[in-house]
A and B are shown apart, each in its own frame.
Chain A
Amino acid sequence: MRASTDAYLALLGKDLRVELRTLRSLPAMALFAVTTFVIFRFALDRTDLEGGLAAGVLVTTLLFAAILAINRLFVTERDEGGFELIRLSPIDRTVLFAAKSSALFIYLCALELVAVPVFTLFFLDSGAAMAPLIPVLLLANAGLAVTGTLISTIATMSTARDLLAPLILLPLLVPLVIAASGASEPLLRAGGPEYEDFGRWLGVLGLYDSVFALVGYAVFDFLLED
C-alpha cells in the first residue's frame, strides 16, 4: 500500500512538473477554449447566452478542450519509453491509471479557472452562477478524467492515435454531457441561478464517475500487459 502511494505521488508529481516546465497542454487548452467561445459568438450570432444554450456552449467547449489534453496524455510515455519502465518497475499498474487520471483532473480544473470566468465575462449578465457550477464541473472533470485516461491509453497504442480517442470518447461521454448540461441549464437562466433537479443530475454524474473509475481500475492492467 505504502509503495503504491509513493509510486502514485511520484508519477503524478512527474506529470505536473513536466507540464509546468514545458507547458505543452494547458496554454493550448485555454487558448482553444477562449477561441471556441469567440467562434460560438459569431456562429450563433449572439452576444449573451442563457439557460440551455449557455450550458451547451460551456459544456461543449470544455469537452473539446479536454480532448486536446487527452490526446497528449501519454505522448511522453510512448515516445520516451515510459510504458516499458512502468512495466519493469515492481508496482501495481493501476497506479499509472490513478496518477494519469489525477493529472488530467488537475489540468481540467486549471482550464476551468480560466475558461469559466472568460465565459461569464463574454456571455453572462452576472457571475452568480459561478459558485454553484463548481460541484457540477468537479464531478464532470472526474468523469472526463477516468474515461479520458482509459481511452487515451487504448488510442496511444494504436496506429490511428489522435483520430481514435475523440471517435470513441464522444459517444462514451454523451451521458456525462447530458447530466452536466442538465445541471447547468437552470443555473445559467437569465433571472439568476435556480436549482431544478440539481441533486438528481449530480447523482447521475457521480454514478457515471464511479462506474467508469471501477471499469478503469478493473481493466487497466490488461492495457499495459505485453
Chain B
Amino acid sequence: MRAPSLRTLALLTVVTLAAGYGLAFFWAPLDTEGFIQKIFYLHVPLAIVALVGFMAAAVLSILHLRSGDPKWDARSYVAIHMSVIFGTAVLLTGALWAKGQWGVWWEWDEPTLVSFLIVFLLYATYYPLRYAIEDRDRQGRYASVFAITAGAFVPLNFMAVRLAEPLIHPRTFASGGGLPGDMLVAFLVCLVGTALLWVTLVRFELGAKAAKADLGKIRRALAPSDSLAPSRGRSIAP
C-alpha cells in the first residue's frame, strides 16, 4: 500500500482537527469543571501523541541500529524533534489548566504532569548530545542508543512518579475510561486529529530535509571550485 501524499494527509488533518474541536466546543456537554475543562481536548491528545512519538522514536532507533540505514536515524530524529515541540505545548496547556482549575500555574501533586516534565527534560538533552558528536555515523548511532534508553525510561518514570504520590491523594481526572459517551467521542476525534497532525509535520520535516540534501548535492555538482565543498561532519541535524 502506498502512503498517502503529504497534501492528502494535510487536508485530512485539517478536517479531522476542525471536526474534533467543533465537537468538543459545540456538542460535548459542559463538565462540572466549567469551560476550562475544554482544554482537555487539546492537552490530553497532545500529551498522548508526544509520548507515543517518543516510543515510536525508540522503535525507529532499533531499526536504525539493526539495519545501519541512516534513513531510520533521520526518522527517529524528526520524531523526537516533533514530540519535544508537542511536549512544550503539553506543559504550557497543562499550566493553563492548573491555573484555571486550582489557581496555581504548577501542581506537584499531579503525577502525570510531573512525569511528563521529567520525560521532557530528558528528551531536551537529545539536542546537546547530537551536536556534541561530530562524526556523522557515530552521531546517528549514539542518538539511537539514547532514544532506546529514553524509550525504556518513559514507562518506568511514570510508574515511579505515580508510586511517589500518597495513595490517599484524590485522582482529579481519571484518564480516558471514565468519560461520558459524548465527551469520549469528541476526545477520540481530537486524538486522531492530533496524531494526524504529528504524522503530517514529521513527513513535512523529512521531506524538507531530503530536499535540502538534494539541493546541496546539486550545488556541489555545479560548483567548479571547492568553495562549496561539503562541510564535513554535518548530519541531518540542522
Contact = CB atoms under 8 A, between A and B. Distances in A.
Interface of A: 147, 150, 154, 157-160, 163-164, 167-168, 170-172, 174-175, 178-179, 182, 200-201, 204, 207-208, 211-212, 215, 218-219, 222-223, 225-226
Interface residues of B, number: 29
A158 B129 contact: yes
Contact of A178 (B121, B132, B146, B164): B164
B152 A212 contact: yes
Given A154-B146, A171-B119, 15 more contacts: A154-B145, A157-B142, A158-B133, A163-B132, A164-B125, A171-B122, A174-B157, A174-B161, A211-B152, A212-B152, A215-B148, A219-B144, A222-B65, A223-B141, A225-B141
A167 B146 CA distance: 13
A157 B128 CA distance: 13
B148 A211 contact: no
B18 to A, nearest CB: 36
B27 interface: no
A150 B147 CA distance: 13
B141 A222 contact: yes
Contacts of A160: 128, 132
A168 B129 contact: yes
Contacts, number: 89
B138 interface: yes
B145 A157 contact: no
A27 B39 CA distance: 53
B216 to A, nearest CB: 24
Interface in B99-139: 118-119, 121-122, 125, 128-129, 132-134, 138
A207 B152 contact: no
A159 B132 contact: yes
Interface of B: 65, 118-119, 121-122, 125, 128-129, 132-134, 138, 141-142, 144-146, 148-150, 152-153, 156-157, 159-161, 163-164
B122 A178 contact: no
Given A171-B125, A204-B160, A211-B152, A222 B133 contact: no
A24 B148 CA distance: 32
Contacts of B145: 150, 154, 219, 222-223
Given A154-B129, A157-B133, A222 B144 contact: yes
25 contacts: A150-B145, A154-B145, A157-B133, A159-B132, A160-B132, A163-B128, A164-B128, A164-B129, A167-B128, A171-B119, A171-B121, A171-B122, A172-B149, A174-B160, A175-B157, A175-B159, A179-B163, A212-B149, A215-B148, A219-B149, A223-B141, A223-B142, A223-B145, A225-B141, A226-B138
